[in-house]
Amino acid sequence: MIQHPDKDYINPIKVETRDQQAYCFHVDEELDGQPWYYDIKKLLEMREYPKNATNKQKRTLRRMANHFFLNKEIMYRGTLDLRLLRCVDAAEERRLLEEVHVGTCGPHNGFTLA
């Protein structure tokens, strides 16, 4: 600890409130019925691009696919610190969030309260 020259002064802390989390990719809705990562997975599996894709879209898809890893049917995204994040669709996302917040992992179970 270091002593502040003015003992009665406390530096104010600036707190910012944001509407969206910074490190969360949230899928609200899947408009075409496919998971958000469908085109990337198809490119990794079969080397096929979506129909009517332009050259720019194909290049973007190739660049995005460099960060993903496919293990059988499960797709992961690699991070800079070499962790793998599992890619999930909207239905599985809701199930996982419910389990984390309410289920056996949630804060209101007997194990945590004990």
Look at residue 70 and tell me if it is in a domain. Answer: yes
Q: Identify the pLDDT of residue 13.
A: 72
Look at residue 7 and tell me if it is in a domain. Answer: no
Degrees to nearest 5, angle at CA 43 with 37 and 48 = 130
**pLDDT tens column, 19-76:** 654 445 555 666 777 888 888 999 999 888 988 889 999 999 999 899 898 888 889 9
Q: Is 96 exposed, middle or buried (0-12, 13-18, 19+ CB in 10 A)?
A: middle
Look at residue 63 and tell me if it is in a domain. Answer: yes
Q: Identify the pLDDT of residue 114.
A: 46
What is the gyration radius of the CA atoms in the chain, in angstroms? 22
Look at residue 47 and tell me if it is in a domain. Answer: yes
Q: What is the β-pairing status of strands 68-71 and 84-86?
A: unpaired
Look at residue 109 and tell me if it is in a domain. Answer: no
Look at residue 83 and tell me if it is in a domain. Answer: yes
Look at residue 67 and tell me if it is in a domain. Answer: yes
With contact defined as beta carbons under 8 Å apart, do 41 and 49 qualify?
no
Look at residue 68 and tell me if it is in a domain. Answer: yes
Compute how many other C-beta atoms are within 10 angstroms of the C-beta atom of residue 35. Answer: 19
| Domain ranges, residue 44 | 38-88
pTM summary value: 0.59
Number of domains in the chain: 1
